[in-house]
Structure 1
Amino acid sequence: MSAGPYAVIGAGLMGAATAWQLATRGAEVVLLEREVPAGDQGSSHGSARIYRYAYPDPFYAELLVHAEPLWVQLERESGRQLIDRVGCLDHGPGRDPEALARVLEQVGVEHALYSPAEARDRWPQLVVDTPVLHQPSAGVLDARTTVEAMVELAVAAGAQLHTRWPVTSITRTRSGFTLTGPDGAILEAAHVVVAAGGWLPELLGQLSLPGAFLTGLPEFTVMQENAYHFPYRDPGRPWPTTIHKDAMQVYTLPGGRDAGFAGQKVAEFNGGRPIRSAAAQDGVVDPANRDRVVEYVKRYLPGLVPEPYAETTCLFTNTPDEHFVLDTADGITVVSPCSGHGGKFAPLIGAMAADLATGTGGVPPVFRPGTAALAR
């Protein structure tokens, strides 16, 4: 393990996971958060994220299988339930449920395929017109509670947490880095892990990294997304999570605390608008997007009242190919497992980031475009 301390910037899902992994390995860790862990201005707030296995690419499905033992460990050590396994349904011609089923068969994940008629009988609150893939072990991840659990375990293992500590500059020194925060406060670190989510684009310019490494990183596009909560017509009927792709791709899931346990969270995937960074978000829901989602609910979700009783915005930090970025060079590790589908991998991403930062292990080459550019 390289000499500490390690400074982890960002106490969202990925930064908290990295700090937890580093601290439990005996490293000296300082976790820096510009507001509070899982704060409302980041990508890890709230109680409802989809936890699913189905991917067209077996690589990601198998990756989640590898993450499962870490989720079990995290729930056991924190004493909290983090995943509500209500199941997940995939349907629509754009999802190709049969192909997804073949992937799950390949990686050994329990699943079932239902005909449209069978699916309508089992889930009459939905309109389906293709076969439906059911993943019974999938469900809803409580993002905020997960962050809180990992931060608590990291602190218990010796990590320091600094809240309301936005990093204003990162300067390379002979022994590592000087990080400047509020009111000119400074911290010294031998290695910096940047897990800043939607703030990453504006931090990249401050990172003293090789030019070829930076050039090799993909373009990061921050999206301000919209999500809505619709009331259940029958509050006693259990709801799974769903992903449906036809003319548009829509995901739904029980809203948990975010919806007062009274409704389903519904959103169009990448239906929001690009912004230059998280600092530019305004929290204003796009009325055209709201209209599209309401029309979708009227057509495909008869089990919901098609009038949202709550709505919010959130951030996706996308790469063009939706692959994660986990790469390191010259004492800086960049952690951006983003594109709106990274949350369910959080403990594994934290372990990988810790491996990179300490030099004790590697990650799949597809996550290291900067290093690949350096090698060319």
Structure 2
Amino acid sequence: MTDTIVIGAGLAGAAAAWQLAERGHHVTVLERTTPANEHGSSHGSARIFRYAYPEQTYTDLVVRSKAGWDELQRTTGTRLIRPTGALDHGDIRNPSGLATVLEAAGVEHELLSPGEARARWPQFHFETDVLWHPGAGVLDAGSTVDAMLSAASATGRLEVRTSWPVARVERRGAGYRVHSATGEVAEADAIVVAAGGWLPALLGELSLPSAFLDQFPALEVRQEQAYHFPYREAEDAGTDAAPWPTFIFKSRELQTYGLPGGRDADWRGQKVAQFNGGKIIDSALAQDGVVDAANRRALVAYAETFLPGVEPEPYAETTCLFTTTPTEDFVIDRVDNLVVVSACSGHGGKFAPLLGELAADVLTGTGSVPAEFRVTAQAGARA
């Protein structure tokens, strides 16, 4: 007998299902297509795991999250994070400020001059100081969703219903009734909504109080674009090769990030994208998967200047969804027995196990979340 429904089987939803099932809850996951499908934000095999943030809160949360990753990898016997280390540079990235935060969190790091960094990583071009932290890596999003659902299933308390597009939620006594777009119904005492890019279209259909909705931050959904540039040196490719580091570059003209591509890009190049460089759409329903030619030209020009170790012509390209709040903080909050876990603002993947823990804590009343994740803290953030 289900007592909790989780809407969405991406990273956040799968994490919530895992944590709740581990705590004895009987969980039903309702997924509009299939877990970690290519239409959402949790597909593929390459997302950045990093510790470097300008805010101490987030770096400390990554440290907490890593314990969850270690547990998940141990219990499922699956390697989900590939160690690579990470580089941060650019005239507004503030590597020295990031180093101060990492120092306070006890995270290993080095601060290097441009020349020192170029000598160590000649495949990059640096014009500012560079922060290096070796504990970073690349996480496999799709395999992580599978691992969390597998761990939840091992408890005997999980059901996953696929091809189940949620249309609306209604209060029914002390619990909830969920209606699908195809006429199906599911009932439970409590609900966790982890709908990602579908949340803007669904938010008004959750039977939430008007006061809560009025305070909810504006959600911006972007169809982001990423490009896979082949390595110039063949020995840089392959799953067993010493991997390139991930990187974040921020200048006044452009903000980019990159990481070694995973199995879905044949392991043979660096995946590079512009942060918040995609077009704004109403919700995930409006995505078309078409890459913008001007964005492609901008990233090719970036590769030509800052990535001398790649051929500046992408061999593959893709789109994905970012659902972002104005402050880029997450939303994890509760009304009655319904918890909203969204949006992850383009940087939530590394926190996946912890997001499930926080959602379970809030739902069961056994813990809390950082104050900035509450809707009241983001009230008025409408632009």
TM-score over 0.5 for the alignment? yes
**1:362 Cα deviation from its structure 2 partner:** 1.2
Compute the displacement of 1:235 (Å).
2.7
What letter is aligned with 1:76?
R
Q: Which runs of 5+ in 1 are unaligned?
A: none
- Among 73, 80, 84, the residue aligned to 1:86: 84
Distance in 1 of aligned mates of 2:150 and 2:343: 22
What's 1:99 paired with? Answer: 97
TM-score (norm 2): 0.95
Question: Which residue, out of 250, 259, 262, partners 1:245?
Answer: 250
Give the superposition deviation at 1:182. 5.2
Q: Distance in 1 between matches of 2:339 and 2:325?
A: 17
Distance in structure 2 (CA, Å) of the matches to 1:127 and 1:217: 42
Structure 1 residue 312 displacement after superposition: 0.5
Percent identity over paired residues: 58
Distance in 1 (CA, whole Å) between partners of 2:278 and 2:183 is 36
Q: 1:350 is matched with which residue: 346, 356, 363?
A: 356
Contact kept? 1:215, 1:370, Cα under 8 Å:
no
Match of 1:218 in 2: 217
Shift of 1:178: 1.0
TM-score, structure 1 normalization? 0.96
- In 2, Cα distance between equivalents of 1:147 and 1:231: 28
Give CA-to-partner distance per residue, 1:199-258, whole Å, 9 cap, x none. Answer: 000111101111111111100010000000010001323311011111211101000112
* Map of 2:189 onto structure 1: 190
Instruction: Give the letter for the 2:250 counterpart.
Output: K
- Mapped to 1, the partners of 2:377 and 2:189 lie a distance apart of 20
Answer whether contact 1:328 1:371 (CA < 8 A) is retained.
Answer: no
Decide whether the 8 Å contact of 1:255 with 1:264 is kept in 2: yes
Q: CA deviation at 1:366?
A: 1.0
Instruction: Return closer, same or farther for 1:291/1:371 CA change in 2, 3 Å cut-off.
Output: closer
Q: Give the match for residue 52 of structure 1.
A: 50
Equivalent AA in structure 1 for residue 275 of structure 2: F
1:309-324 map, 5 Å: 309-324=315-330
Alpha-carbon distance in 1 for matches of 2:230, 2:143? 24
- 1:1-376 paired onto structure 2 within 5 Å: 5-157=3-155, 158-181=157-180, 183-237=182-236, 238-246=243-251, 247-370=253-376
Contact 1:155 1:161 in 2 (8 A): no
Q: Distance in 2 between matches of 1:342 and 1:301?
A: 26
- Change over 3 Å in CA distance of 1:368–1:298 after alignment to 2: same
Q: After TM superposition, give the deviation of residue 350 of structure 1 in Å.
A: 0.4
Tell me how far apart the structure 2 counterparts of residues 255 and 277 of structure 1 sit (CA, whole Å).
27
1:111 touches 1:135 (CA, 8 Å); kept in 2? Answer: yes
SS of 1:125's partner is coil
Q: For the Cα contact (< 8 Å) 1:327–1:371, is it kept in 2?
A: no
Q: After superposing the two structures, state which structure 1 stretch, 178-187 or 18-27, moved more.
A: 178-187
Counterpart of 2:310 in 1: which secondary structure? coil
1:21 is paired with a residue whose SS is helix
Stretches of structure 2 that go unaligned for 5 or more consecutive residues are 237-242
Query: Aligned partners of 1:359 and 1:302: how far apart in 2?
Result: 52
In 1: Cα distance, 2:217 partner to 2:41 partner: 19
Partners of 1:235 and 1:57 in 2: how far apart?
38
Offset of 1:175 from its aligned partner? 3.2
Would you say how many aligned residue pairs link Structure 1 and Structure 2? Answer: 371
Give 3-state SS (helix, strand or coil) of 2:332's partner: strand
CA distance in 2 between counterparts of 1:239 and 1:233 reads 12
Deviation, 1:370, is 4.1
Letter paired with 2:350: K
Amino acid at match of 1:329: V
Residue 371 to residue 266, structure 1, CA distance change in 2 (3 Å)? closer
Question: Which deviates the most, 68-77 or 236-245?
Answer: 236-245
Structure 1 runs (4+) greater than 6 angstroms displaced: none
Q: What SS is found at the alignment partner of 2:360?
A: helix
Structure 1 range deviating more: 177-186 or 95-104: 177-186
Q: Report deviation, 1:131.
A: 1.1
Structure 1 residues 212 and 183, CA, compared in 2 at 3 Å: closer, same or farther?
A: closer
Alpha-carbon distance in structure 2 between the residues aligned to 1:341 and 1:235: 30
* Residues 90 and 242, structure 1, Cα contact 8 Å, conserved in 2: yes
The 1-side partners of 2:75 and 2:36 are apart by 20
